[in-house]
Amino acid sequence: MKQRIVLLIAILMLVLAGCSSASEEPATTETAAEPVTITGTNGEVKLDAPAKKVVVLEWTYAEDLLAVGVQPAGMADIVDYGNYVNIEPQLDETVVDVGGRQEPNLEAIAAIEPDLIIGVSFRHDAMLEDLEKIAPTVIFNPYPEDESIDLYQEMETTFKEIAKAVDKTAEADKVLADLETKYEEKAAEIEAANLKTKDVILTLAYTGAQAPEIRVFTPNSMASIILERIGLNNVHQPDQYEIFGSSTFNVEGLVKYENANYLYTVPDEDNIYENQLKGNKVWENLAFVKEGRTYDLGADTWLYGGPLSAETLMNQITDVMVNK
């Protein structure tokens, strides 16, 4: 069985190799590309030419590439990405799985012979040297400790850097410009919908033991800033600065926000609202539950993504709040 798979893979590889060598021919006739310099948390990274083959080790950065019309050559944790992230364009089936995000397979990455590797600081700082041996590597940090940069600005900056690396700056600007238009459209929709209140809190919940934990997004988080851009008002004010952009609550903590609308995502297989919270008096007597102002954004609305996830989030919000 295993042998057959190996054989099959080998044949596929041969076919692919054949195809790619054929398609590479015209590429060489292009004009010599200009060198580019991109900046990550590991300093400036110089590329002799814009990257063609990029390996991404974190989902958000794959999304950034897809947004400017580039498919990554290799990517980590492809299967889980599909479960949590819902964006267009989708990931191509030819994208090579390079293992887990935490310990990506170095050999698999090297075998792709990428021009650029993109990692995230809280996972990949430790293996930066190994990655740099394979290809120029840039690391970004979506959760800067500096409180003056909000997480949305960070997302935009990183997105532009990544676009620059693959020579798609114009496309990136267009994506961001489109996003601005989209914000205005959606803000108008929200405005026109005459909601009872524009106050909201946005949450992501999961089971910790028998007790559900509810992440409530803080105003500095990217998802919250998107909410504000379309005219909603995040009422959650955390007691302390939350570097990852959310506070962890139990049901009791929701009481003070019960007059707001409740926006949430929850995994399908771990739906705390249908399991543990069903029948809980405190939950069921919360004003937003009683008055039917809870809005399910869907399990695969990724609240930590890039511009495409931002769009998904906007669409979902207006879908459930306005068009329901």
Partner 1 sequence: MHGKLNMKSFASLAGGFFLLIALSLIHLIQGQADYTVSELVSGVWVEGRIQDIVMSLRLPRLVIGLVAGGALAVSGAVLQTLTNNPLASPGTLGINAGAFFFVVISVIFFPSFLGQFPFITALLGAVLSSLLVVGLSGKQMDPVRVALTGMIISLLFSSMTGAMQLLFENQTSGLFLWGSGTLVQLNWEGVKFAAPVIAIFFVAALVLSKSMDVLSLGEDIASSLGQNVRLVKLMAWGVAIVLAAATVSVVGPIGFIGLMAPHIVRMMGIRGHFQIFAHSFLWGSVMLIGADVLGRLIQPGQEVPVGAMTALIGGPWLLYLAWKTAKSMKRGDRQMGGTTKPVRLKVLLPLLIGMIAVVITLALSFNGSEWSFEWMKPVVWNFRVPRVLTSFIVGIMLAITGVILQGVLRNPLADSSVLGVTSMAGAGAMLLLVVFPAIPSAFLPLGATLGAVLALGIILVTAWKNNFQPMLVALMGIAISAFGSAATQVFVVKAKLAVASALVWLSGSTYGKGWEDVQFALILFVLFIGPAIYITRSLDTLTFGDDVAAGLGLSIRSTRVWALIIGVAISTAAVSIVGTIGFIGLVAPHIARRLVGFRHLPLMLASGLLGGLLLVTADFVGRILIAPKDIPSGLIVALIGTPYLLYLLRKMK
User: Can you give the binding site for partner 1, defined by CB under 8 A?
Assistant: 6, 9-10, 80, 84, 97-108, 110-111, 122-123, 125-127, 129-130, 133, 143, 145, 206-213, 239, 244, 247-253, 255-256, 269-270, 275-277, 279-282, 285
Q: Which residues pair with 253 in a beta bridge?
A: none
Shortest CB 257 distance to partner 1, Å? 11
DSSP symbol at 99: B
- Judged by CB, which is closer to partner 1: 45, or 190? 45
Nearer to partner 1, 197 or 237 (CB): 237
Give the length of the chain.
324
Q: Is the peptide bond before 89 cis (omega within 30 degrees of 0)?
A: yes
Nearest to 53 by CA among 117, 115, 136: 115
CA-CA distance, 114 to 33, in Å (whole number)? 17
For the CB of residue 14, give the shortest distance to partner 1 in the complex, in Å.
12
The CB-of-170 to partner 1 minimum distance in angstroms stands at 34
- Name the residue nearer to partner 1 (CB basis): 89 or 208: 208
The least distance separating partner 1 from the CB of residue 173, rounded to whole angstroms, comes to: 31
The residue among 9 and 19 lying less far from partner 1, judged by its C-beta, is 9
Count of CB atoms within 10 A of residue 10's CB?
A: 10
Closer to partner 1 by Cβ: residue 272 or 314: 272
Q: Which residue has the tokens 């290809």?
A: 135
Q: How far is CA 110 from the centre of its chain?
A: 25
From CA 54, how far away is CA 116, in angstroms rounded?
Answer: 5
Q: Report in angstroms how near the CB of residue 38 gets to partner 1 at its nearest.
A: 21
